Amino acid sequence: MPAGRPPKYNDPHTLQAAIDEYFKKCDETVIVKQVVQKGEIVEVPTPLPYTVIGLANALGVDRRTINNYKDSDIFFPIIASARARIEEQNLAMGLIGAHDSRIAALNLASNYGYSEKSASEDPQEARAKLLAELVQALPPDLISALRGRLMGELAGRKLIDITPEKEEYEEIEKYGGL
């Protein structure tokens, strides 16, 4: 007789519906981030970030249960897809400054195997390498919308105004907006 509590979800369709509801709730929940642009404080509406712990809470399970479900043959594709969606949003929002890039980097390092630096690398080189990894993981049309800002960062220049131009906003809106 197997030990432990029976799984909360036995049906992949029920699990997928609950995951879809979590993402919908995050997309509809807007938080306001204050940023300084051209010397003035501007409020920027941003969707609630996707997180594994947020997903676990929405499903009514422990975060470790999400990891256990990904080992199940029937749940693997569903959990892998949800984790990829969380990873993609963390990458995109961290890179464009909509979410705190330090928190996004910590989450990506802790949950998705990204690394910021090795012991032998200097910090600037490690940062450029991490940004290059992050850029490669983004969809091509989003990279194109952010290319100038990302390339400036990769070259080691600090960019002050990261506000996307109008055309870039249209591309970013495809991915949940700012």
The whole-angstrom separation of Cα 143 and Cα 6 is 43
Confidence band (pLDDT; 50, 70, 90) for 50? very high
Is the pLDDT at 118 greater than 70? The verdict is: no
The whole-angstrom separation of Cα 55 and Cα 85 is 11
CB 42 within 8 A of CB 35: yes
Is the pLDDT at 161 greater than 50? The verdict is: no
Match domain 12-173 to its CATH number in 3.40.190.10, 1.10.132.80, 3.40.440.10, 1.10.357.10: 1.10.132.80
Predicted TM-score (pTM) of the model is 0.60
Is the pLDDT at 21 greater than 90? The verdict is: yes
Domain ranges (residues) in the chain: 12-173
The more confident residue out of 100 and 80 is: 80
